[in-house]
Amino acid sequence: MDKKYKLIYFNVKGKGEVIRLIFTYGKIPYEDVRIESSQWPALKPNTPFGQLPYIEFDGKTLAQSNAIARYLAKQCDLTPTTDWEQAQADELSDVVQDIKTIARPVNPVYEKDEAKRKSLLPDVLAAVTQLLDKVEARLAANTSGWLVGNKISWIDLLFFTTTEYYVTVFGKEVLAKYEHQHKLYTRIKQIPQIAAYLEKRIDTVI
Protein backbone atom coordinates (compact mmCIF):
# COMPACT_ATOMS: atom_id res chain seq x y z
CA MET A 1 0.00 0.00 0.00
CA ASP A 2 1.23 3.51 -0.83
CA LYS A 3 2.40 5.61 2.12
CA LYS A 4 0.04 8.40 3.14
CA TYR A 5 2.27 11.38 3.90
CA LYS A 6 1.34 14.38 5.98
CA LEU A 7 3.59 17.47 6.16
CA ILE A 8 3.12 19.57 9.27
CA TYR A 9 4.54 23.09 9.01
CA PHE A 10 3.58 26.73 9.43
CA ASN A 11 1.77 28.69 6.74
CA VAL A 12 5.02 29.94 5.22
CA LYS A 13 7.53 28.68 2.65
CA GLY A 14 10.49 28.58 5.06
CA LYS A 15 12.01 25.18 5.78
CA GLY A 16 8.88 23.38 4.63
CA GLU A 17 8.90 24.52 1.04
CA VAL A 18 11.67 22.21 -0.14
CA ILE A 19 9.60 19.31 1.19
CA ARG A 20 6.51 20.53 -0.67
CA LEU A 21 8.62 20.82 -3.83
CA ILE A 22 10.04 17.30 -3.47
CA PHE A 23 6.54 15.85 -3.02
CA THR A 24 5.47 17.87 -6.05
CA TYR A 25 8.43 16.88 -8.22
CA GLY A 26 7.96 13.20 -7.31
CA LYS A 27 4.18 13.40 -7.81
CA ILE A 28 3.86 11.96 -4.31
CA PRO A 29 0.44 12.71 -2.77
CA TYR A 30 0.63 14.40 0.64
CA GLU A 31 -1.50 16.39 3.01
CA ASP A 32 -0.13 19.92 3.45
CA VAL A 33 -1.07 20.74 7.05
CA ARG A 34 -0.41 24.44 7.81
CA ILE A 35 -0.35 25.35 11.49
CA GLU A 36 -1.48 28.82 12.61
CA SER A 37 0.68 30.49 15.26
CA SER A 38 -2.30 30.39 17.67
CA GLN A 39 -2.28 26.56 17.44
CA TRP A 40 1.47 26.24 17.96
CA PRO A 41 1.89 26.36 21.78
CA ALA A 42 -0.48 23.42 22.23
CA LEU A 43 1.11 21.42 19.41
CA LYS A 44 4.80 22.09 20.18
CA PRO A 45 5.23 19.59 23.06
CA ASN A 46 3.79 16.82 20.89
CA THR A 47 6.20 17.32 17.97
CA PRO A 48 9.32 15.16 17.59
CA PHE A 49 11.83 17.89 18.59
CA GLY A 50 9.64 20.87 19.48
CA GLN A 51 9.88 22.45 16.04
CA LEU A 52 8.37 22.29 12.57
CA PRO A 53 8.51 20.90 9.93
CA TYR A 54 7.97 17.21 10.43
CA ILE A 55 6.29 14.55 8.35
CA GLU A 56 4.01 11.69 9.41
CA PHE A 57 3.49 8.42 7.58
CA ASP A 58 2.81 4.78 8.48
CA GLY A 59 2.40 5.77 12.16
CA LYS A 60 5.93 7.26 12.17
CA THR A 61 7.23 10.83 12.37
CA LEU A 62 10.37 12.36 10.91
CA ALA A 63 11.64 15.86 11.74
CA GLN A 64 14.54 18.07 10.58
CA SER A 65 13.96 19.57 7.16
CA ASN A 66 17.16 18.30 5.55
CA ALA A 67 16.71 14.77 6.91
CA ILE A 68 13.16 14.79 5.53
CA ALA A 69 14.40 16.12 2.18
CA ARG A 70 17.08 13.43 1.93
CA TYR A 71 14.61 10.68 2.86
CA LEU A 72 11.97 11.81 0.37
CA ALA A 73 14.62 12.38 -2.32
CA LYS A 74 15.28 8.63 -2.20
CA GLN A 75 11.61 7.97 -3.01
CA CYS A 76 11.68 9.95 -6.25
CA ASP A 77 15.17 9.83 -7.77
CA LEU A 78 16.30 13.17 -6.31
CA THR A 79 19.35 11.73 -4.54
CA PRO A 80 22.66 12.68 -6.17
CA THR A 81 24.25 9.68 -7.88
CA THR A 82 27.59 9.14 -6.14
CA ASP A 83 28.73 9.33 -2.52
CA TRP A 84 30.86 12.32 -3.49
CA GLU A 85 27.93 14.13 -5.11
CA GLN A 86 25.80 13.37 -2.05
CA ALA A 87 28.51 14.90 0.14
CA GLN A 88 28.61 17.96 -2.11
CA ALA A 89 24.83 18.32 -1.78
CA ASP A 90 25.14 18.07 2.01
CA GLU A 91 27.90 20.69 1.93
CA LEU A 92 25.65 23.06 -0.04
CA SER A 93 22.73 22.41 2.31
CA ASP A 94 24.92 23.74 5.13
CA VAL A 95 25.79 26.76 2.98
CA VAL A 96 22.05 27.36 2.59
CA GLN A 97 21.69 27.21 6.36
CA ASP A 98 24.55 29.71 6.73
CA ILE A 99 22.85 32.08 4.27
CA LYS A 100 19.62 31.88 6.28
CA THR A 101 21.45 32.44 9.57
CA ILE A 102 23.31 35.47 8.20
CA ALA A 103 20.12 36.91 6.67
CA ARG A 104 17.91 36.32 9.71
CA PRO A 105 18.39 39.86 11.18
CA VAL A 106 16.90 41.33 7.97
CA ASN A 107 14.19 38.70 7.47
CA PRO A 108 10.94 40.75 7.49
CA VAL A 109 9.20 37.96 9.41
CA TYR A 110 11.60 38.31 12.36
CA GLU A 111 12.56 42.00 12.13
CA LYS A 112 9.48 44.20 12.02
CA ASP A 113 11.35 47.48 12.57
CA GLU A 114 11.75 48.57 8.94
CA ALA A 115 14.30 51.32 9.71
CA LYS A 116 16.50 48.87 11.62
CA ARG A 117 16.13 46.29 8.85
CA LYS A 118 17.21 48.81 6.22
CA SER A 119 20.24 49.89 8.24
CA LEU A 120 21.43 46.28 8.59
CA LEU A 121 20.81 45.34 4.95
CA PRO A 122 24.10 46.47 3.31
CA ASP A 123 26.36 44.49 5.70
CA VAL A 124 24.13 41.42 5.64
CA LEU A 125 23.92 41.50 1.86
CA ALA A 126 27.71 41.79 1.61
CA ALA A 127 28.11 38.67 3.77
CA VAL A 128 25.46 36.72 1.84
CA THR A 129 27.00 37.80 -1.47
CA GLN A 130 30.30 36.16 -0.53
CA LEU A 131 28.51 32.81 -0.27
CA LEU A 132 26.35 33.35 -3.37
CA ASP A 133 29.47 34.17 -5.40
CA LYS A 134 30.94 30.80 -4.41
CA VAL A 135 27.73 28.95 -5.28
CA GLU A 136 27.70 30.74 -8.63
CA ALA A 137 31.30 29.66 -9.34
CA ARG A 138 30.40 26.06 -8.54
CA LEU A 139 27.36 26.15 -10.81
CA ALA A 140 29.38 27.76 -13.60
CA ALA A 141 31.91 24.92 -13.36
CA ASN A 142 29.25 22.20 -13.73
CA THR A 143 28.27 21.87 -17.37
CA SER A 144 25.02 20.05 -16.47
CA GLY A 145 23.63 23.27 -14.97
CA TRP A 146 22.58 21.35 -11.82
CA LEU A 147 24.31 22.02 -8.52
CA VAL A 148 25.90 18.58 -8.29
CA GLY A 149 26.52 15.83 -10.82
CA ASN A 150 24.61 15.57 -14.06
CA LYS A 151 21.02 15.31 -12.84
CA ILE A 152 18.55 17.28 -10.78
CA SER A 153 18.69 16.47 -7.07
CA TRP A 154 17.06 17.67 -3.86
CA ILE A 155 19.76 20.29 -3.38
CA ASP A 156 18.59 22.06 -6.55
CA LEU A 157 15.09 22.26 -5.08
CA LEU A 158 16.48 23.48 -1.74
CA PHE A 159 18.49 26.12 -3.55
CA PHE A 160 15.38 27.14 -5.49
CA THR A 161 13.68 27.94 -2.17
CA THR A 162 16.81 29.79 -1.06
CA THR A 163 16.75 31.85 -4.25
CA GLU A 164 13.13 32.77 -3.63
CA TYR A 165 14.13 33.70 -0.10
CA TYR A 166 17.04 35.96 -1.03
CA VAL A 167 15.01 37.61 -3.80
CA THR A 168 12.31 38.41 -1.22
CA VAL A 169 14.77 39.76 1.33
CA PHE A 170 17.28 41.55 -0.94
CA GLY A 171 15.42 42.13 -4.23
CA LYS A 172 15.43 40.49 -7.65
CA GLU A 173 18.42 42.53 -8.80
CA VAL A 174 20.59 40.22 -6.69
CA LEU A 175 19.47 37.18 -8.68
CA ALA A 176 19.96 39.12 -11.93
CA LYS A 177 23.69 39.32 -11.06
CA TYR A 178 24.00 35.53 -11.10
CA GLU A 179 23.57 34.09 -14.59
CA HIS A 180 23.81 30.44 -13.54
CA GLN A 181 21.59 30.73 -10.47
CA HIS A 182 19.05 32.53 -12.63
CA LYS A 183 19.17 29.70 -15.19
CA LEU A 184 18.76 27.06 -12.48
CA TYR A 185 15.84 28.97 -10.95
CA THR A 186 14.10 29.27 -14.33
CA ARG A 187 14.78 25.64 -15.22
CA ILE A 188 13.15 24.41 -12.01
CA LYS A 189 10.20 26.78 -12.42
CA GLN A 190 9.58 25.22 -15.84
CA ILE A 191 9.35 21.59 -14.68
CA PRO A 192 5.67 20.94 -15.50
CA GLN A 193 4.52 19.67 -12.08
CA ILE A 194 6.48 22.45 -10.31
CA ALA A 195 5.03 25.09 -12.68
CA ALA A 196 1.50 23.82 -11.92
CA TYR A 197 2.22 23.86 -8.18
CA LEU A 198 3.66 27.40 -8.24
CA GLU A 199 0.65 28.64 -10.16
CA LYS A 200 -1.71 27.55 -7.39
CA ARG A 201 0.60 27.90 -4.37
CA ILE A 202 -0.73 29.65 -1.27
CA ASP A 203 0.84 33.10 -1.35
CA THR A 204 3.06 33.86 1.65
CA VAL A 205 5.86 36.44 1.95
CA ILE A 206 8.59 34.12 3.17
Give contact residues for ligand GSH (rule: CB under 6 A).
14-15, 44, 51-53, 64-66
Of 69 and 139, nearer to ligand GSH (C-beta) is: 69
130 CB contacts (<8 Å, ≥6 apart)? none
Residue closer to ligand GSH, measured from CB, 40 or 84? 40
Q: How far is the CB of 195 from ligand GSH (least distance, A)?
A: 26
Burial class (CB in 10 A: 0-12, 13-18, 19+), 159: buried
| Nearest approach, Cβ of residue 22 and ligand GSH (Å) | 14
Please, what is the minimum distance in Å from the beta carbon of residue 196 to ligand GSH?
26
Could you tell me which of 128, 132, 121, 139 has the C-alpha nearest to residue 180? Answer: 139
For residue 131, the minimal CB distance to ligand GSH (Å) is 18
Question: For residues 95 and 135, is the Cβ–Cβ distance under 8 A?
Answer: yes
CB of 86 to ligand GSH, least distance (A): 18
Strand ranges for the chain from DSSP E: 5-10, 30-35, 54-57, 60-63
Of the candidates 60, 69, 168, 43, which has an alpha carbon nearest to the alpha carbon of residue 52? 43
Inter-residue contact 52 to 61 (CB < 8 Å):
no
Of 53 and 149, the one with the shorter C-beta distance to ligand GSH is 53
Identify which of residues 66 and 86 has a Cβ nearer to ligand GSH in the complex: 66
* Residue facing ligand GSH at closest CB distance: 51
Which one, 6 or 44, has the nearer CB to ligand GSH?
44
